[in-house]
Amino acid sequence: MKSIKRYRKIGLLPLAAGVALFIYLIDKTGVSTIVANIQLFGANFLFLLLTSGARQYFRTLAWHYCIEREHRRIGFLDLLSLRLAAETITYLTFAGPFFGETAKAYIASKRIPTAYSLSSIVVENLIYSLSVALFIMSGALILLLRFATAQQLRVAGIIISIAVLLPALLAYLFISRRWMLLRQAS
């Protein structure tokens, strides 16, 4: 019980540092500048906030389902908190994803066996990367096929799209075979 209280007290330090940094940035930027920039977006600003929140929600949901049911000893809200903390570390440290993903794996392994924690994080990141690649590729193909007039540009775009598609297919194969590999290893 003492260790939980101690961790909560230690957890207040980063919270206080984050709030102090937030206040400092608002002070340096100026409230009027922030309000003016939000007004430029208008109602679209709320759409951007909702989109960003939905992205975090669905990535957490994907991560939740990447953890095998019998090893899922962590709740959705705990995963979301862990995910947001790791994102913060990713954005605020010089090593970015290296620190953020490492922290996420380390903390998750306290509640999930390490092998399942690591593999679930890798698979979730692969799924996310795959979805981003497919989204970008589909947009590029639409752009090339509908709006590009130069034949060379179309051919180059299609070749690039195929070059993006191949690693995406390899990622899909890895994800689909992950479960078999884990079962063989254990």
For the chain, give every domain's residue range: 1-41, 52-185
pLDDT band at 34 (very low <50, low <70, confident <90, very high): very high
Give yes or no for residue 140 having a pLDDT over 90: no
Determine the pLDDT at residue 173: 78
Q: Alpha helices, DSSP H only, in 93-150? A: 97-108, 114-147
SS3 57: helix
For range 143-170, the mean pLDDT: 77
Longest dimension (CA), the chain: 69
Determine the pLDDT at residue 32: 95
Determine the pLDDT at residue 180: 55
Find out whether 146 and 155 touch, Cβ atoms under 8 Å: no
CA dihedral sign, ordered 118, 120, 121, 125: positive
Q: Which residue, 160, 169, 156, is CA-closest to 137?
A: 160
Determine the pLDDT at residue 9: 66
Give yes or no for residue 99 having a pLDDT over 80: yes
pLDDT band at 145 (very low <50, low <70, confident <90, very high): confident
For range 130-156, the mean pLDDT: 77
Q: Which residue has the tokens 């290893």?
A: 185
38-91 pLDDT, tens digit each: 998 888 889 888 888 888 999 999 899 888 888 888 889 999 988 988 888 888
Determine the pLDDT at residue 5: 62
pTM: 0.66
- Quote the mean pLDDT of the chain: 81
Q: Which residue, 52, 127, 111, is CA-closest to 84?
A: 52
Cα 42 off chain centre by: 26
Determine the pLDDT at residue 179: 53
Find out whether 63 and 117 touch, Cβ atoms under 8 Å: no
